[in-house]
Chains A and B, each alone.
Chain A
């Protein structure tokens, strides 16, 4: 089983709908992240959480919200989806130990908003 699991893997939704992307991890890491990938733009940070009670905005948080339900679970919500939120979304985790910070990624969720 994958260490970082994202569900669903693919989703098509309509403009204005609320949608939640889920991420769970078995690595025991305390830090979790959501990124979106667009062609030519690389990966951009949406939100990140360094522990269950810590939520931080990334560079492109507008239109998104997150919930850290447990150390192992971090979900991303689009309250009212719009077409320019069509992208590939990645969840990642990392450990807080000194000398680490390497991020481990899920397989991604391809979201299409029509």
Chain B
């Protein structure tokens, strides 16, 4: 069965600094990987997804993630944090073509200070 581990439940950065949110996955078959963002009192919005095409995936709001099979990782980055990036971020995995339900990590709360 697939699983996701997000390292760090809380990450704090200064405005303009690099954002790095870590995600490692476990899957017995080639995975599909996703990053979702949840702003306070809202539902989940897809940031980006990897579905076996390019390993470097670009998403909305300047975020990107790189699929590294050898490291079983799918870390989320953004070169320069903005105050509006403060939110909770979830990494999720599904078993690719098998189309299983999404399994989520426990989330990382990103705080951005001025």
Contacts and interface: CB of A to CB of B under 8 A. Distances in A.
Contacts of A92: 44, 102
Contacts of A101: 32, 51, 94, 96, 99, 102
Nearest to B105: A42
Contact of B106 (A41, A98, A106, A108): A41
Given A98-B97, A99-B51, A101-B102, 17 more contacts: A31-B101, A35-B104, A40-B9, A40-B106, A41-B106, A42-B90, A42-B106, A42-B107, A44-B104, A90-B43, A92-B102, A96-B99, A99-B52, A101-B32, A102-B34, A103-B92, A105-B43
A58 interface: yes
A41 B6 CA distance: 11
B43 A106 contact: yes
A48 B96 CA distance: 17
Contacts of A41: 106
12 contacts: A31-B101, A42-B90, A45-B101, A92-B102, A94-B99, A100-B99, A101-B99, A102-B34, A102-B49, A106-B43, A107-B43, A108-B43
Contacts of B42: 107
